[in-house]
């Protein structure tokens, strides 16, 4: 099942400038492909780094985690009533810089889901090159104001 940005906005609580996925595709109930179109207009490129723009590694991880969060929220009966919070980032590795014009593809897999606690593994690619990978723990919590 494929989701465009309008459908993502219906599920995810994130908004500009911190929504870091543009498309999502559920491969199966435990796996998602998330896409981030990296443009020169991203606000972080102004200072990271002038003359040599590179997407900050922490934002690559955040984008990957948002794809995982989208996967988790889609498992819920009412995703608008929950948020997904990071609990841990493990074994994060960054292999190749991500630059303006790149299309980041995140492959995120749910490896454990108990009560409101989850574990995920992710890999990020530009074309066929792996640029980052890591594993994450997250908690599903009630969204305030719902």
Q: Any idea what the CATH number is for the domain that residue 61 is in? A: 3.10.129.10
Alpha-helical regions (H) of the chain: 5-11, 57-74
Residue-level pLDDT at 146: 66
Query: Does residue 75 sit in helix, strand or coil?
Result: coil
What is the count of structural domains for the chain? 1
The rounded distance, in Å, linking the Cα atoms of 69 and 53 is 27
Residue 48 known to be catalytic = yes
Mean pLDDT across the chain: 96
Q: Provide mean pLDDT across the span 31-59.
A: 96
Q: Cα torsion for 99, 105, 110, 115, to the nearest 10°?
A: 70
The rounded distance, in Å, linking the Cα atoms of 41 and 139 is 32
Query: In whole angstroms, how large is the CA radius of gyration of the chain?
Result: 15
What residue numbers bound the domain in which 48 lies?
Answer: 2-142
At 14, the pLDDT band (50, 70, 90 cuts) reads: very high
Alpha-helical regions (H) of 24-124: 57-74
pTM of the shown model: 0.96
Residue-level pLDDT at 145: 79
The rounded distance, in Å, linking the Cα atoms of 93 and 1 is 29
Select which of 11, 13, 30, 48 is catalytic.
48
In the numeric block, which tokens belong to residue 73?
Answer: 């929220």
| 89, pLDDT greater than 90 | yes
């Amino acid at each position: 099942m494929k989701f465009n940005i309008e459908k993502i906005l219906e599920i995810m609580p994130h908004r500009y400038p911190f929504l870091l996925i543009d498309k999502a595709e559920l491969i199966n109930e435990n796996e998602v492909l998330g896409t981030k179109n990296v443009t020169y207009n991203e606000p972080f490129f102004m200072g990271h780094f002038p003359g040599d723009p590179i997407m900050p590694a922490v934002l690559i991880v955040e984008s990957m985690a948002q794809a995982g969060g989208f996967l988790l929220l889609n498992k819920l009966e009412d995703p608008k009533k929950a948020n997904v919070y990071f609990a841990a980032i493990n074994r994060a590795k960054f292999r190749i810089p991500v630059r303006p014009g790149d299309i980041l593809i995140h492959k995120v897999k749910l490896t454990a889901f108990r009560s409101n606690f989850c574990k995920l593994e992710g890999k990020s690619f530009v074309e066929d090159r792996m640029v980052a990978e890591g594993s994450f723990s997250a908690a599903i919590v009630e969204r305030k104001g719902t």
